[in-house]
């Protein structure tokens, strides 16, 4: 299993990365970002656990190239016997186990220093190999679905080795009507690179072509705007800084509004094309059904949140009052209601805090958490050229890896808890599941990580005796729910709307998408919010819209995590065992909805979403009361 990096929610991932903790790591009294070599070895991950050298990597690359022709020997022969089918599936697994090490090794080295041309080249080489593997194995699924259910059942009885593939085979047969002929599937697989062009154009445009202006910071110093700094400026206590950053970033995207609209329109059109080619009712169904997510789960999220917008409107009203402004604008949304509170934590202090907060998960979980720390799963501090943000990457047969840019803030401790949630999910899954069912989907992945985040902030709220710190944490908690449940659901509603429009034959122009996005902001943020014209273009800077019905999983994941955290805090050992054995260890052995249901959370109902919205209300009550006293 090679899992793509799990990024923290968009609103949390674009962090301004200062150097305080990196300086602590190297013991330097300097404002310079340290080089990779200056970071102490204890704060670096061990990528040599994957390959001890580039030569070992190349040997595995060559091995895969040599294995690919053998896959073709099974073409047209899968229906002959269970033995043939098993041999082919095992060969594909053997190949993907290796490619599942090749790409992460290259990519993670590249992320250590994005200017390193050698690992850029290796990453590209690994990506091309993955495309070759996909093309070489594209015949397998279409050939299997051509086998009658009766014959496949007999083959499974005759060949006991196929037992570990039973969920995969069952899932495949359920998708039978959507699988094309081997030739057609191979053709569509090769078209994948062409179909990725709109996303590639967006990335180049957003990261290299769009130029942002400079603004004056709180001290009157001229500073350049960037996506990485944007969220920090939106959180400034100086309203002029917030407004300037807001206008600067969104105004820059607005200059490319027609190009960005054409790019997103092209991306949506390819979703619609592939959905229609595979005979799905909609692009939404095509995106959800392969992961066994009913369309109703997606739509239920939007409906439930739409029925509970009043608390968000109330939150906007409270923020307006706390900020002391006559009008509240979109650029005020991230401004802290409680000023002059900083929770500074060294990395070792953050580790101790997270361990204590995760105690409801049980002793075994903490033992494995410590194993990850001691075994160098984590790359901790920023260095020159290091990619920003954070992620976790589970590699089958090795261990998970965690990428951080730890900066000494409470939010960094929260990111540590989040990414270790992903990592331990991968760890438990790999330990408990055979390879064919080890890989889990994002729908459940975001639950494991966010459960840890929630346990951490709940622990902090229960522990603190400082009223101002408590108000700060409540504000942070409310922001987490606003940005993860409300905001991501608004994104999901926008994504559904633009796909629906495209499927009806409409062209997604800049004017149309700005109108849709403006109306959603008016609806979500309520009558007291001034929905500034600049916000209408915000859709153009959201990279997740190039990941096909992806963002809703942040909202569902947060809701499931809130329900799990409540159970772990109130039910003790019974909830602990359910969570570990039925959820973390389940991997991809069943549908994500069923796995969560087995563990005690039913996402086919509105209940977990309602539990989260009720918690938002309670936190709002508490903050409102404290602000009134302060």
Instruction: Compute the Cα dihedral for 305, 460, 44, 376 and give only its sign.
Output: negative
Instruction: Compute the Cα dihedral for 337, 343, 344, 347 and give only its sign.
Output: negative
Structure tokens at 361: 């998960």
Identified catalytic residue from 419, 495, 497, 503: 419
Distance of CA 108 to the CA centre of its chain: 17
Q: How many CB atoms lie within 10 A of CB 76?
A: 11
For residues 546 and 555, give the distance between their C-alpha atoms in angstroms, rounded to a whole number.
18
Helices (H), 328-362: 347-357
243: closest CA among 541, 540, 533? 533
Q: What SS3 state is found at 474?
A: helix
Please name the residue that has the structure tokens 């899954």: 429
Bridge partner residues of 400 (DSSP): 394
286: closest CA among 190, 193, 143, 180? 180
Bridge partner residues of 222 (DSSP): 216
Give yes or no: 419 in active site.
yes
User: Quick one: 317 exposed, middle or buried, by C-beta within 10 A (0-12, 13-18, 19+)?
Assistant: middle
For residues 353 and 244, give the distance between their C-alpha atoms in angstroms, rounded to a whole number.
37
Give the N- to C-terminal CA distance of the chain in Å, as an integer.
52
Bridge partner residues of 328 (DSSP): 529
Q: What SS3 state is found at 343?
A: coil
Give the phi and the psi of residue 329 in degrees, each rounded to 5. Answer: -110, 170
For residues 88 and 96, give the distance between their C-alpha atoms in angstroms, rounded to a whole number.
12
Instruction: Compute the Cα dihedral for 432, 360, 619, 564 and give only its sign.
Output: positive
For residues 45 and 393, give the distance between their C-alpha atoms in angstroms, rounded to a whole number.
12
Please name the residue that has the structure tokens 């053998």: 70
Give the phi and the psi of residue 400 in degrees, each rounded to 5. Answer: -75, 160
For residues 547 and 287, give the distance between their C-alpha atoms in angstroms, rounded to a whole number.
10
Torsion region of 364: left, alpha or beta (phi above 0 gives left; psi -120 to 50 gives alpha): alpha
Give CA separation, 145 vs 68, 160, 175, in Å.
22, 20, 8
Catalytic residues: 419
């Amino acid at each position: 299993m090679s899992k793509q990096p799990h990024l923290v929610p968009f609103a949390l991932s674009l962090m301004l990365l200062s150097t305080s903790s990196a300086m602590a790591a190297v013991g330097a009294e300097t404002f310079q970002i340290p080089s990779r070599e200056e970071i102490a070895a204890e704060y670096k991950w061990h990528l040599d656990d994957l390959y001890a050298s580039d030569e070992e990597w190349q040997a595995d690359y060559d091995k895969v190239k040599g294995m690919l022709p053998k896959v073709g020997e099974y073409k047209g022969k899968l229906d002959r016997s269970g033995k043939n089918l098993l041999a082919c599936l095992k060969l594909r697994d053997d190949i993907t186990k290796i490619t599942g090490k090749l790409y992460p090794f290259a990519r993670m080295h590249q992320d250590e220093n994005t200017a390193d041309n050698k690992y850029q080249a290796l990453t590209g080489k690994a990506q091309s190999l993955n495309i070759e593997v996909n093309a070489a194995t594209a015949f397998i699924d279409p050939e299997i679905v051509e086998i009658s259910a009766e014959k496949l059942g007999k083959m499974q009885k005759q060949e006991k080795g196929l037992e570990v593939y039973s969920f995969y085979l069952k899932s495949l047969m359920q998708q039978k009507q959507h699988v094309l002929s081997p030739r057609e599937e191979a053709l569509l697989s090769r078209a994948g690179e062409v179909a990725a062009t709109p996303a590639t154009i967006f990335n180049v445009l957003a990261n290299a072509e769009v130029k942002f202006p400079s603004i004056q910071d709180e001290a009157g110093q001229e500073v350049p705007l960037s996506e990485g700094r944007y969220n920090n400026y939106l959180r400034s206590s100086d309203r002029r800084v917030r407004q300037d950053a807001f206008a600067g970033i969104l105004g820059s995207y607005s200059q490319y509004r027609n190009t960005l609209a054409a790019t997103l329109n092209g991306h949506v059109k390819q979703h619609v094309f592939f959905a229609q080619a595979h005979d799905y009712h909609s692009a939404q169904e095509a995106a959800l059904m392969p992961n066994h997510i009913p369309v109703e789960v997606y739509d239920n999220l939007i409906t439930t949140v739409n029925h509970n917008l009043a608390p968000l409107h109330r939150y906007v009203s409270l923020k307006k009052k706390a900020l002391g402004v006559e009008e509240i604008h979109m650029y005020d949304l991230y401004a802290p209601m409680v000023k002059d509170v900083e929770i500074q934590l060294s990395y070792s202090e953050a580790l101790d805090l997270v361990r204590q907060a995760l105690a409801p998960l049980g002793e075994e979980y903490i033992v494995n958490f410590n194993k990850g720390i001691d075994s160098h799963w984590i790359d901790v501090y920023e260095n020159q050229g290091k990619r920003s943000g954070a992620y976790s990457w589970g590699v089958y047969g090795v261990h998970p890896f965690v990428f951080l840019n730890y900066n000494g803030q409470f939010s960094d401790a929260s990111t540590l808890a989040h990414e270790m949630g992903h990592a331990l999910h991968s760890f438990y899954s790999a330990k408990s599941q055979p390879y064919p069912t080890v890989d889990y989907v994002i729908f459940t992945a975001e639950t494991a990580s966010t459960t840890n985040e929630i346990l951490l902030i709940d622990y902090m709220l229960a522990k603190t005796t400082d009223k101002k710190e408590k108000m700060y944490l409540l504000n942070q908690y409310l922001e987490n729910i606003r940005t993860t449940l409300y905001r991501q659901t608004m994104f999901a509603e926008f994504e559904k709307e633009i796909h629906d429009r495209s499927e009806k034959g409409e062209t997604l122009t800049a004017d149309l998408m700005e109108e849709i996005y403006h109306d959603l902001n008016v609806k979500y943020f309520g009558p007291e919010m001034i929905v500034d014209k600049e916000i209408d273009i915000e859709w153009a800077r959201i990279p997740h819209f190039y990941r096909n019905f992806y963002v809703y999983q942040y909202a569902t994941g947060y809701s499931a995590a809130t329900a799990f955290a409540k159970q772990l805090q109130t039910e003790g050992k019974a909830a602990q065992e359910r969570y570990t054995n039925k959820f973390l260890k389940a991997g991809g052995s069943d549908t994500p909805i069923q796995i969560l249901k087995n563990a005690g959370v039913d996402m086919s109902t509105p209940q977990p979403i309602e539990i989260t919205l009720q918690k938002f209300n309670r936190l709002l009550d508490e903050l409102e009361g404290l602000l009134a006293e302060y």
